Amino acid sequence: MKGLAELGEFGLIDQIRARFPQPVAPELGIGDDAALLSPSAGSQVVVSTDLLAEGVHFDLGFGPARLLGRKSLAVNLSDIASMGAVPRWFFLSLAIPAGFPLETIEGLLDGLAEQAAEYGCILAGGDTCGSKSGLVISVTIMGEQRPELILKRSGAVLDDEVWVSGSLGDSALGLQLLMEGKRLGQSDDYLMQRQLDPTPRCDLGRKLAEAGLVNAMIDISDGLLADLGHIGEQSGCGAEIQLGQLLLSPAFQAYAANQHAFPWQLAVSGGEDYELCFTAPVCNHGAIQKISKTTGIPLTVIGKITSSRQVQAILPDGTNFQPSASGYTHF
Amino acid sequence: MKGLAELGEFGLIDQIRARFPQPVAPELGIGDDAALLSPSAGSQVVVSTDLLAEGVHFDLGFGPARLLGRKSLAVNLSDIASMGAVPRWFFLSLAIPAGFPLETIEGLLDGLAEQAAEYGCILAGGDTCGSKSGLVISVTIMGEQRPELILKRSGAVLDDEVWVSGSLGDSALGLQLLMEGKRLGQSDDYLMQRQLDPTPRCDLGRKLAEAGLVNAMIDISDGLLADLGHIGEQSGCGAEIQLGQLLLSPAFQAYAANQHAFPWQLAVSGGEDYELCFTAPVCNHGAIQKISKTTGIPLTVIGKITSSRQVQAILPDGTNFQPSASGYTHF
């Protein structure tokens, strides 16, 4: 099998080019000093970027490289979803260690190409280079939306209902299982899949924005409490949530049933759920439930926006939940 | 002095925020899931991205971190310049090893902020995370220009004159001196400055594009022969250049005078010049010389576009130059 060194930088770029459809004229993708993009008239451009470093964000031993490729784009798609925007283009930079297996890179590119095709997001450019140690993946994504429809963290209003899509905690629990040595193909695949191959809520985010039902939105990457806290900070308010209202998957509940203490920490601070958390006026409740039905994605009210400037989480027994840590720290 | 671990991820983001002016409404920068940008009506968006990895693209021992910050943005600005576009926004992602000195990060940010202010480029977002080993800097830059003015690699026409801005080889020679152990503050500062603090030719690139004088343009990052080769590939043509016509700086010439063989290799394949190479009809020669005068940047004709599908470099004695390698390989 041909190695990366033999393939070379331009060979690698050809491998990338072969997997991704190119922008159509008058746009210009891979092969010049810069990409040329034509956003729709009247749209704002919505841009997000995420850096994933080996040994920090991912462990290549946890699952196939294809899933890592899918996730690298999914976490960026999720940021576009949380603004209610439509993904359009992305840029991929890879720093690859010397002697890195070519088939891992090919798997990574396959996963990225799958995910890009699923969400209609075009690879418009990037950069490839060597790395002194681990693999580093940098993705910058660009979407678009009419400015008046874009959902920010700053729009929450007192007495808004706080909604969450899907179930929480699966991804964090899946990561815990992987760190304990479990792998895909055994039991608990659902939980590990949620960690290794999260689903960005692009269709849902866009529908909520275009229906004009929502005041503020964020995607849950750092954990519900931390991310709802970001909405509070930007909106100048707080929130009170009832943990008993959280939707938990059957797999999560089955795991919880075997624990001494219910693993609330995983559900509300574990992070990497990539579900959407949003706030909306009570009068929009029915219309939002209809969107839940048409998209097939569960949407649950878990609390409301308060004037308290903090996020208070109430356990099913009525006492306050005290998180042991909220969100991941990098340094 | 406060360390990075004590400062934390959000403290670091505050440090970044403090150094860079934020986009003005209705645009939205750091602090939401994505940045919102409003390109000018009728413009295409021009996007480029570069990943710089410690030990691959830079050595922190070679010069102050401030210059590394300036260069991280300069190499991206140069890509925007080579399209004839105007830089507008950039995104900065940093993967930082545990225990990395905070003052190095501060120097890096200072340099980025200086360069951003000089070129009117707004920091609109980014990402920060840990790194298993070296520092990784990922910059994505966005500019804009009216589509009919944008200069691509693909526009070169038979018999076009081939032009180069500034002098070539200084940066590659500066790198050689740094690798030999020389440092700034001794002799040869000019050469090492050209390596550590290159000047992107944004004003020149924009003026050439807006004057409508040029058919194809590229910035010289991989070395003149490789980059002129890219113009040839994309335009379906070749070029013949006279090495005796190349502008070489007094410092480069002084170094060359002490060598057994003239270091053509450094001048045409060393790379990282970040000068512009462009092709233009002979009838625009005088108008281009005028732009050279108004910008104060030397512009030199070094050859012409041919139908040969290769780049031929002729030495001053009339023989063909044989490069020992063209451009840097990463893997």
B254 to chain A nearest CA, in Å? 33
Per-residue model confidence (pLDDT) at position B18: 87
Q: What's A182's DSSP letter?
A: -
Q: Which of B59, B131, B57, B39 has the alpha carbon at shortest distance from B93?
A: B131
Q: Are B266 and B243 in contact (CB under 8 A)?
A: no
Q: Is A38 exposed, middle or buried (0-12, 13-18, 19+ CB in 10 A)?
A: middle
Instruction: Kindly state the average pLDDT of the residues B80-91.
Output: 96
Q: What is the pLDDT of residues B258-310, one digit of tens each?
A: 999 899 999 999 999 999 999 999 999 999 999 999 999 999 999 999 999 99
Beta strands across the sheet bearing B161-165: B216-219, B276-280, B161-165, B299-306, B238-242, B311-314
Min mean pLDDT across A55-64, A192-201, B216-225 is at A55-64
**Does A325 reach chain B within 8 Å, measured CB to CB?**
no
- Three-class DSSP category at B273: coil
Q: Is the pLDDT of residue B328 over 60?
A: no
Q: Is A46 exposed, middle or buried (0-12, 13-18, 19+ CB in 10 A)?
A: buried
Per-residue model confidence (pLDDT) at position B2: 60
**Does A13 reach chain B within 8 Å, measured CB to CB?**
no
Q: Is the pLDDT of residue A330 over 70?
A: no
Residue B272 annotated as part of some ligand binding site? yes
Instruction: Kindly state the average pLDDT of the residues A87-100.
Output: 93
Per-residue model confidence (pLDDT) at position B134: 87
Closest in B31, B57, B82 to A33, CB measured:
B82
Instruction: Give the pLDDT band (50/70/90) at residue B29.
Output: confident
Q: Is the pLDDT of residue A307 over 80?
A: yes
**Does B126 reach chain A within 8 Å, measured CB to CB?**
yes
**Does A57 reach chain B within 8 Å, measured CB to CB?**
yes
Q: Is the pLDDT of residue B159 over 80?
A: yes
Q: Is the pLDDT of residue A69 over 50?
A: yes
Per-residue model confidence (pLDDT) at position A1: 46
Q: Are B171 and B196 in contact (CB under 8 A)?
A: no
CB contact under 8 A, A85 and B34: yes
Percent residues over pLDDT 70 in chain A = 97
Q: Is the pLDDT of residue B168 over 80?
A: yes
Closest in A132, A329, A330 to B56, CB measured:
A132
Instruction: Give the pLDDT band (50/70/90) at residue B1.
Output: very low
Mean pLDDT, chain B, rounded, equals: 93
Q: Is the pLDDT of residue A327 over 60?
A: no
What domains, with CATH codes, occur in chain B?
4-148 (3.30.1330.10), 152-314 (3.90.650.10)
CB contact under 8 A, B152 and A32: yes
Q: Is the pLDDT of residue A257 over 70?
A: yes
Per-residue model confidence (pLDDT) at position B330: 58
Distance CA B60, CA B111 (A): 14
Q: What is the pLDDT of residues A124-165, one digit of tens each?
A: 999 998 888 789 999 999 999 999 999 999 999 999 999 999
Q: Is B258 exposed, middle or buried (0-12, 13-18, 19+ CB in 10 A)?
A: exposed
The stretches of chain B forming alpha helices (DSSP H) are 4-19, 65-82, 102-119, 170-179, 189-196, 202-211, 224-235, 250-257, 264-269, 285-295
> A with B: how many residue pairs have Cβ under 8 Å apart?
225
Per-residue model confidence (pLDDT) at position A17: 85
Q: Is the pLDDT of residue B4 over 80?
A: no
Query: Tokens 């500019």 map to which residue?
Result: B143
- Three-class DSSP category at A242: strand
Q: Is the pLDDT of residue B26 over 80?
A: no
Q: What is the pLDDT of residues B235-245, one digit of tens each?
A: 999 999 999 99
Residue A49 annotated as part of some ligand binding site? yes
Distance CA A8, CA B331 (A): 6
Cα A59 to Cα A64, A65, A134, A182, distances in angstroms:
10, 10, 10, 13
Q: What's A36's DSSP letter?
A: E
Which one is predicted more confidently, B15 or A3?
Answer: B15
Instruction: Kindly state the average pLDDT of the residues B61-71.
Output: 96
Instruction: Give the pLDDT band (50/70/90) at residue B329.
Output: low
Percent residues over pLDDT 70 in chain B = 97
Q: Is the pLDDT of residue A293 over 70?
A: yes
Which range, A35-39, A52-56, A60-64, A95-99, has the best average confidence (pLDDT)?
A: A60-64
Neighbours of A258 (CB within 10 A): 6
Q: What is the pLDDT of residues B142-154, one digit of tens each?
A: 999 999 999 999 9
Mean pLDDT, chain A, rounded, equals: 93
Closest in B39, B85, B126 to A49, CB measured:
B126
Region of A16 please: left (phi>0), alpha (psi -120 to 50) or beta.
alpha
Q: Is B140 exposed, middle or buried (0-12, 13-18, 19+ CB in 10 A)?
A: buried
Q: Is the pLDDT of residue A193 over 80?
A: yes
